[in-house]
Every structure is written in structure tokens, then in C-alpha cells.
Copies of this chain bind each other. A is one copy, B any other.
Amino acid sequence: MSSTGPEPVGNLGSSAETPTRRGPRRSLSRVDVVDAALAVVDEGGPAALSVRAVAARLGVRPNSLYTYVASRAALEGEVVERVLAEADLGLLTSPGRSWRERIVDFAEALRAQLLAHPAVPLLMMTAPMDGAAALAVGEGLIGSLSESGLAVDDAARATYAVIVQVIGAVALEVAETDGVPPLPSESVRIEARRAGLSMLPPEAWPMAAATVEVAARWNSSEQFRWSLGTLLDGIAARTNALPEDTS
């Protein structure tokens, strides 16, 4: 679905620098359209994404886009692919780091990328991620988890658990904001949550009251590391290899 037709590969960002175009129309390309769509959401948030807004940014009529993209839904899928294609898979094969460290490195980098394009996590929940970039992430994760000593089938299961934890956490994190970049800083968002939680009557919500400081940080990099680390602990426990037995 995302690899339909002969698409020019390797010229990402070739023409994203001029937001509003001028001068002779040199003929659009599919990457121009995706670039423009990403620029639209990065400027106006997820609600700003529309065929008409993307067309306007390209200086073209709305229906022109249908030359390059089958539908708004297909365009959304391309945006997800574009961002996933920028994921640094090299982090999953860094020498001198354990499989655990490599996965944490990759997950944190991916989280940062997704927070930089806060409309994208929601789009990931909107259609299947079956493009080449999504598959490449899966390949890298299964590979890393296999090296941990896990049987390949369990490595694949563990891969999906990690994907769910990472994308789910980022999506819920963005959901607490308006999604318009730049997002409020983590400390501001924590403070907002703390303020909300502090107003709850402790009689009604004793557990929330007892854990305000932790729950205020649910959408933080700290909690992100704790959750992922705990999941990786569980994954490691399914390994028969010794703990020292890492690359």
C-alpha cells in the first residue's frame, strides 16, 4: 500500500525547505506531497492535516494531490512511513553495547523523534503499519532480541511487546497535549499533571493521593525507561543464556 508504483527513493527532503512555493511550477512529486503533509502537521498539529491544507502549501488545487496519492488515508500512511524511515536502526547494532542497551537506545531515540512529530503516533493507530520502514524496524528488533539468546519465535513475540510499549507510551503521552509542536517541556507537563492530581479528594482516590508524585510523571522519560526496562527484565527471564552472555 505504501510501495505502490515506481517511487523515487533517496531524495528525502529534496524540496521541503520552501514552504510556500513561487515561480514556475516544476511539477510535483510524491515526496513533495508527503513533505508538505508533514510540514502541515508539524506546524498546526494533527487537526490541521487536510488534503486542502497540503495542496495550499504546495500552491496547487486540492484535487491535484490525487495524482500522487490515492486518498487522505494513503497520505497519512506515507507520513508515518517517512518518519519511521528516519529511525536510526544503527542504534540496534552498535558495537560494545549489550542487546538491552541497544534496544533502550533505539526506543529512546524513536520516542524523541515521535515527540518531534506529535501527530504521527495517532496516525500509527489509524492504519496498519506495513510499509518498508515499519518492516525494517521489526527486522532490527527481532535481530537484537535474537542475539539475547532468545529463540527466534520468542524474539518475535518480544519485539511486538516492545513495539506496543514504545508506541503506546508515546501516543498516550501526546494525547495529554494539543499535539502542536513544540510540545510543552516535560517538566511543564509533569507539573500540570501534578496540579490535576493534587485536586482529587484523597478519600475518593486514596491510591492516586498516595502516588501523586509518581503518577504526575507517568508521561515522562523516567517512566518510559522504567516501563521498558521492566518489560526487558521479563523478556530476559525467558532467556536461558547467562546474563554476561551479551555481544
What residues make up the interface of A, taking CB atoms closer than 8 Å to B? 121-122, 124-130, 135, 138-139, 142-143, 146, 152-153, 155-158, 160-161, 163-165, 167-169, 171-172, 174-176, 196, 200, 205-208, 210-211, 213-215, 218, 223, 226-227, 229-235, 237-238
Contact = CB atoms under 8 A, between A and B. Distances in A.
A169 B164 contact: yes
A175 B130 contact: no
Contact of A157 (B127, B174, B207, B226): B226
B158 A230 contact: yes
B125 A121 contact: yes
| This chain's copy number in the assembly | 2
20 contacts: A124-B175, A125-B171, A128-B175, A129-B175, A135-B205, A139-B205, A139-B208, A142-B211, A156-B207, A156-B214, A156-B215, A157-B214, A160-B215, A160-B223, A161-B226, A164-B165, A165-B231, A230-B231, A230-B235, A231-B231
Contacts of A200: 135
The A contact surface, by secondary structure, is helix
Q: Which 3 A-B pairs have the closest CB atoms?
A: A168-B168, A234-B234, A233-B234
A89 to B, nearest CB: 12
